[in-house]
Amino acid sequence: MKKQDMNRDWIATARTLSQALPYLQRYSGAIIVIKLGGHAMGSDEGMESFARDVVLMRQVGINPVIVHGGGPMINALLDKLEIKSEFVNGKRVTDDKTMEVVEMVLSGTVNKRIVQAINRQGGRAVGLSGKDANLITCTQTNPDLGLVGTPSDVKPDVIRTLFENGLIPVIAPLGAGENGETFNINGDTAAGAIAAALKADRLLLLTDVSGVKNGAGEVLTELSATQIRDMTADGTIAGGMIPKTETALDALEGGVRAVVILDGRAPNACLLELFTEHGAGSIIRLG
């Protein structure tokens, strides 16, 4: 690369940092809950990029919380162990044998991979599940689904303690029942419940789509809760986007300031959303 080209790159970098200053100030001390899934979890390169972004957030005074899924990894191990997994209306039926695999993958392999990636970038991440310190208490979602839970109570004190010590929580979506059962929780649902309990400034739902689209297939950058309900009623929002927007509405009603549905495959997606004027994906607010 020519020296002149390198100078232009450095100038562009300096300009970008300068333009980001108001947003860095705006989010200093803010709590940002990020639901990690999709491409970033399956790709080593994507995981490295995501981890670097999270460490940068912590470095500039943001308190990030990572909540992750792990469906493909669970499926792979179930297949390897020749354990048949059934689904009802798209949701996994979780019996005792399946639950052992779910907990092994979520609290073990997936959680520690994310922790290691963040620590490798210079962060201080700590892995836990919703069972630790009674973080998430669940009720059974539907007897037909077995050990699938819906959060009934979230105690965020343990997360705040981690913040105070400069640590980054990485949380597997598992919870405990009132009788000591272990429940599998949908990752988006767990992230929304944690964000609401923390009264987070932002809940970022990283997906494999660019955001909420209108009938013409165009991404809508800003939406209200009323628009979400209307678009769901008329069928514009359908399929896999419905549970994500339902999570968004529940989180907003629980006290989260705003929810953003964005494409986790885009490089530096979280930084683009937080530290640039145009943001990324679709931001949803109550108003």
Cβ atoms of 68 and 98 within 8 Å: the answer is: no
User: Is 3 an active-site residue?
Assistant: no
Question: What is the bridge-based pairing of β-strands 168-172 and 87-88?
Answer: unpaired
User: Is 177 an active-site residue?
Assistant: no
Of 131, 187, 188, 264, the catalytic one is 188
User: Is 112 an active-site residue?
Assistant: no
User: Is 38 an active-site residue?
Assistant: yes
CB within 8 Å of 48: residues ≥ 6 apart: 117, 120, 121
Cβ atoms of 123 and 56 within 8 Å: the answer is: no
d(CA 136, CA 129): 8
State residue 241 phi and psi, 5-degree precision.
Answer: -75, -25
d(CA 127, CA 18): 34
User: Is 131 an active-site residue?
Assistant: no
Of 37, 187, 211, 244, the catalytic one is 244
First to last CA, the chain: 49
Of 37, 38, 70, 123, the catalytic one is 38
Angle at 210 between CA 35 and CA 24, to 5 degrees: 60
Instruction: Give which of 257, 263, 275, 267 is closest to 60, Cα–Cα.
Output: 275
CA separation, residue 85 to residues 77, 78, 186 (Å): 11, 7, 16
Q: Give me the residues paired with residue 169 across strands.
A: 126
**Which active-site residues does the annotation give?**
35, 38, 71, 188, 244
